[in-house]
Amino acid sequence: MILEARAISKEYRRGDTTFFAVDRASLSIAKGEFVCIVGRSGSGKSTLLSMLAGLLTPDAGAVLFDGRDCALLGDEAISRLRNTRLGYIMQGYSVLPNFTVLQNVILPHVLFKREDDPYEKALALLDRVGIRPLADQYPARLSGGELRRVSVARALLPSPDLLLADEPTGDLDAESAAAIMRLFAEIAAAGTAVLMVTHDTEATKGVDRVLTMRSGRLAED
C-alpha cells in the first residue's frame, strides 16, 4: 500500500464544546488505485486530506506513506516527501500572484532542486490540462477554473506516487471537469494512486472505489 490511515482522529474545541472533525478514520490505497471520498461540506473531508498530506498531525492514530509512519519524520523530511512523491491539490487557490502560470507550475522543482529541466515537462502538463497558451500570463488574468488547472499541473510536475485532490473540479464547467477526471484516470492507470474528495457525486464515475464521509466518520460504499 502506498498510503494507510489507521484510526486517525482530529479533535477541536469550540467554546466549552469539543468535537471530532475526523473520528477514527481508516483507509488504505494501493499504487495505481483511484479512490474518491464524497461528503457534504463540513463532513471532515478537507481535514482528513490535510492529515494524509502531513499538513496536520492526527490527535490519535497513524498515517503511513509507503510503510513509513509520517509522525516519525522531521519537518524537512515530510516537506521533501510532499515535494517529490506526493502531489497535493488544495481546495482554495494556492498560486502565487507575482509568478506566471509556468513559474507557478515549476515551483516544486525550485523549492527542492533536481538535475532535470522542468520547463518542457511543465509545458506538456499545461497542454494536458488545456491552458498552455496561458503559460506567460499572471494569475490575476485567469478565471477560477484556469487557476484550478494550474494547481493540477503543478501537483503532477514531480510525477508523484500519490495525488491528493481536494474538490479539484469545483470551479470547472462540465467539459473541463470531465477532462480533469480523464487525466486522473490516466495517471492512475500509469501507476499513480489518486485520492480525491468531493461533494459532487457525478465526479465519482469511473473511479475504483467510493467512500462516504459523514460527521467525521468514513465508510466504504
Residue 29, classed as helix, strand or coil, is: strand
Number of domains within the chain: 1
Pairing of strands 3-14, 60-65: antiparallel
CB atoms within 10 A of CB 53: 22
pLDDT in tens, 94-114: 899 999 999 999 998 887 777
The CATH number given to whatever domain includes residue 136 is: 3.40.50.300
Q: Which of 101, 105, 99 is nearest to 118 (CA)?
A: 105
Closest alpha carbon to 172 in 201, 135, 129, 115: 129
Q: Where are the alpha helices (DSSP H) in 173-220?
A: 174-189
**Domain around 49:** 3-220
The low-confidence residues of the chain, meaning pLDDT below 70, are 221
Q: How many CB atoms lie within 10 A of CB 175?
A: 8
Model confidence pLDDT, tens digit, residues 110-149: 877 777 789 999 999 999 999 999 999 999 999 888 998 9
Question: Which residues, including other chains, have CB under 8 Å from residue 202's CB and lie 6 or more apart?
Answer: none
Place of cell 513559474: 103
pLDDT on residue 108: 84
Residue 9: its pLDDT value, please?
97
- Tell me what pLDDT residue 221 has: 66
